[in-house]
Chain A
Amino acid sequence: QKEVEQNSGPLSVPEGAIASLNCTYSDRGSQSFFWYRQYSGKSPELIMFIYSNGDKEDGRFTAQLNKASQYVSLLIRDSQPSDSATYLCAVKAAGNKLTFGGGTRVLVKP
């Protein structure tokens, strides 16, 4: 079992719809959770950070964390073609490193 799991996709959504991405993790000691967006050939850029159970909203993005069920999700509202990218879930446990999932590729179709 991988430490951080994501559906590889592609997740195809029409423009203006909601994209829903999920991530599960295995280490119950995980403390902080990050969503990064990565365009093809580019490096990851931070979208959201969450470390408390519940929802956190930032513009069109909402991160949801449920530590009891060990999952974290990302919602993208009003999806735009520019949102087409790979979304990486990253988890920080007690140490210092981030453990990444394999990423979910999102395609937003005009």
Chain B
Amino acid sequence: DTGVSQDPRHKITKRGQNVTFRCDPISEHNRLYWYRQTLGQGPEFLTYFQNEAQLEKSRLLSDRFSAERPKGSFSTLEIQRTEQGDSAMYLCASRRGDRVAGPQETQYFGPGTRLLVL
């Protein structure tokens, strides 16, 4: 059973550069989530996909952020014109698509991409 994978695991960039992160969810999971976590805080929701449709975006997701999931499988998160405040761990999670409450609602997290903007 392959878990959620993310690439790269670490990224150092200079302010103003663009960066792109990739997430590969668990294969049978059609729901995919992006979160951001800064030091000492819990993860904060950024956006959510069901298959290829982006169904929800947080107000945290400024115009410099864009996410895609073109074929309903892997997803990319791009940050344009990075700022030092973008430095964080970017987490991807996936889950099955069942609607009823239960353990299938569990979101499984990838290892994260740690971004440092200099």
Partners in one complex: yes
- Determine the interface band of chain A, counting residues with CB < 8 A from chain B: 20 to 34
Complex Cα spacing A102 to B48, Å? 21
Complex CA distance for A88 and B102, rounded to whole angstroms: 19
- CB pair A100–B44 under 8 Å, yes or no, is yes
User: Distance (Å) between the CB of A99 and the closest chain B CB?
Assistant: 7
**Given A43-B109, A96-B56, are A88 and B42 neighbors across the interface (CB < 8 Å)?**
yes
Which residues from chain B contact A100 at a C-beta distance below 8 Å?
A: 42-44
> B108, A88: Cβ atoms under 8 Å?
no
When distances are taken between beta carbons in the complex, the residues of chain A under 8 Å from B48 are 96-97
Residues of B within 8 A of A96 (CB): 31, 33, 48, 50, 55-56
Establish whether residues B107 and A98, one from each chain, have CB atoms under 8 Å apart when the complex forms.
Answer: yes
List the A side residues contacting B40 at CB < 8 Å.
Answer: 8, 102-103
Task: Please choose the segment from A12-20, A44-52, A61-69, A70-78 that sits at the chain B interface, where 4 or more of its residues have CB less than 8 A away.
Answer: A44-52
